[in-house]
Amino acid sequence: MKTPPTKKGCGGCNIEAVNPDHRKMSPTNPILNVGLTFEEALKLRVAIDEALLRLNSYNRATKAGRERLLWIGVHLRDSTVTVSEGNPVREKPAFPPASATINPANSD
């Protein structure tokens, strides 16, 4: 019997609002707030639950099992959020950059 193909992603949802505008993001303003309606938040929860169940199926006693990650992608052009699980990126990005200074007086 042929096994069914496995999905690469776990699901996602649509974004209602983003604050601040992604074009205004900078090292001094590194936070992106994403607003979801109740129904879209439920879709996101289901997608996260599915990804966590997949992660839980791996043997966590092995290095490969412990290193699997839950990935959340925010697609600003499409106004969507996607959830998947996968391998880590070997080079960790330095965010915020070491040269960035965050001034709490200027934060929203």
- Domain containing residue 66: 9-22+31-89
The answer to whether residue 107 sits within a structural domain is: no
Question: In which band, very low, low, confident or very high, does the pLDDT at 1 lie, cut at 50, 70 and 90?
Answer: low
pLDDT at 42: 96
The answer to whether residue 95 sits within a structural domain is: no
The answer to whether residue 54 sits within a structural domain is: yes
Three-state secondary structure readout of the chain: CCCCCCCCEEEEEECCEEECCHHHCECCECCCEEECCHHHHHHHHHHHHHHHHHHHCCCCCCHHHHHCEEEEEEECCCCEEEEEEECCCCCCCCCCCCCCCCCHHHCC
The answer to whether residue 105 sits within a structural domain is: no
Count of domains observed in the chain:
1
The answer to whether residue 62 sits within a structural domain is: yes
The answer to whether residue 47 sits within a structural domain is: yes
The answer to whether residue 83 sits within a structural domain is: yes
pLDDT average, residue stretch 54-74? 92
The answer to whether residue 18 sits within a structural domain is: yes
Q: Is the pLDDT of residue 66 over 70?
A: yes
pLDDT average, residue stretch 15-33? 82
**If you average pLDDT over each of 1-15, 38-52, 66-80, which comes out highest?**
38-52
pLDDT average, residue stretch 80-84? 93
